[in-house]
Amino acid sequence: MPANEEVKNEKAGQGRIEFDFPLLLVRISSFRRLFEKLGAWKASRLISWGTLFGMPIVGGFGLYMIFDTLRILLTTPEARAFGRELGLQAYISIPGLNPLLPIFYSWIGIIVAIIVHEGAHGVIARSIGIKIKSCVLIFLLAIPLGAGVDLDEEQMKKAKVKDSTRVLTSGIGANIIIALICIVGVIILVNGLSPVIDGLYIAGVVEDMPAEAAGLVVGDVIIRVDDNPTTTLNDLITALGEKNDTVHVTVARGEMWRDQLTIPVNLIEYEGKPFMGVSLSEMLIEERLRTYQKLATEVYSIHFQPPTISFLQSLTPFSETLHIYYTHTIGKYWYVLANLFFWIWYININVAILNSLPIYPLDGGRVFKNLLKSVVGGNEKTVSRVTYAVTIGIISTIVMMIALPYLI
């Protein structure tokens, strides 16, 4: 084909709109100059070499997680019960269908992950001279979903293995960099939190008992009895002691528990003990925060669990359940930023791990195939058979991991 004909075809592919229900693809060339500039940076090339050596580590970690989860499911009935409780929809990575993925935060995480991943492919491709035919904006109907780059596949095939591999691993590396930045952001935000309130939450008030007569109501938080702070039930027992007379109970109530009232309560004796007539629960707001802060820096696995899981909602400071009990110097919407950071981390790190696995045609599978080809030579059939065998093996293991709670 003459050179001028190739140029015409290339230009025809730019600015084109394609609709394949429900996806709308808009092909543009606007970002190619940006890729050219970023690809010329020395830092981009250095990072691409780092991702080349880092991807096998991430892939190995992903395989470890899969087989370790399988081991736990095989040996622990409680883990299988938890898997059944989550349901099969927990393995569908679509916000709105997966109950563990909040729609707003997860879609932002997905869009960021796709743009970062595909953008990195484009940057490194240009740094080694591989042509970008067009950039693609992807919409789900009218909703922005992400972006991609259309590389020249012929040039990718002809490129040296180390160069094409750098292009493939660059997306994974970019996802990891963004993920690490965001999880550090989460840790910094959480370490700047202060409890709004802590004490004993009044969950019930018994009729015709001292607490009701004094004016205590459900939702009040007891923070002091006389001059004694009451964070736990043991604190309350100690504060009441053997008293059978009047105590001064300080409660917090109202919006964000800003109002504090000290109310005299005339105790009575019940079964030989002082009695107010309230049902109480320990809030432990300070303790939960300190526990999470400690786990966040010492137990890495907590960051791989979504805070929407029931048992983590009562521990994670920025969860839907707990965020109202904390405040931050940046303002009342700190928890929105914390959730954005967390879900961008969570989506990006999972995209990086998935793409690092030797599953064809994902990036990890293509890298595996390229490396295998360089080892065994040009025997395409052997390379393809081994690649597909490994792919089928890993996918089968993942399917087994999902199905196991329902089989045993």
pLDDT per position as a tens digit, 21-50: 677 777 776 677 778 888 888 888 888 888
What six digits make up the tokens of 119? 């953008």
Amino acid in position 268: I
* pLDDT tens track for 114-126: 889 988 988 998 8
Q: What is the largest CA-CA distance in the chain?
A: 102
pLDDT band at 11 (very low <50, low <70, confident <90, very high): very low
> What pLDDT does 177 receive?
94
pLDDT at 10 over 60: no
CB-CB contact of 371 with 219 (8 Å): no
Residues 131 and 152: beta-carbon distance below 8 Å: yes
Question: What pLDDT is recorded for position 308?
Answer: 93
CATH topology of domain 200-283: Pdz3 Domain (2.30.42)
* CA distances in angstroms from 194 to 225, 251, 330, listed in the order given: 23, 19, 12
Tell me the residue type at 135.
Answer: C
The pair of three-digit structure tokens given for residue 219, joined into one six-digit string: 């939702």
Confidence of residue 142 (pLDDT cuts 50, 70, 90): low
Assign 204 a pLDDT band (cuts: 50, 70, 90).
very high
Q: Domain boundaries in the chain?
A: 17-190+341-407, 200-283, 286-327
Mean pLDDT lowest for which of 7-16, 34-43, 228-237, 359-368?
Answer: 7-16
Running DSSP on this structure, what letter comes out for residue 222? Answer: E
The pLDDT, as a whole number, for residue 34 is: 79
pLDDT band at 8 (very low <50, low <70, confident <90, very high): very low
Q: What is the pTM for the complete model shown?
A: 0.86
Mean pLDDT confidence for 257-268: 92
pLDDT bracket for residue 15 (50, 70, 90): low
Least confident of 28-32, 296-300, 349-353, 362-366: 28-32
At residue 149, the pLDDT reads 80
Question: What's the pLDDT tens digit per position in 365-397?
Answer: 999 998 888 887 767 888 999 999 999 999 999
**Residue 2 CA from chain centroid, whole number:** 50
What is the average pLDDT across 256-278?
90
Based on C-alpha coordinates, what's the Rg of the chain?
A: 29
Helices (H), 192-304: 210-214, 233-240, 285-298
Per-residue pLDDT for 3 more than 50? no
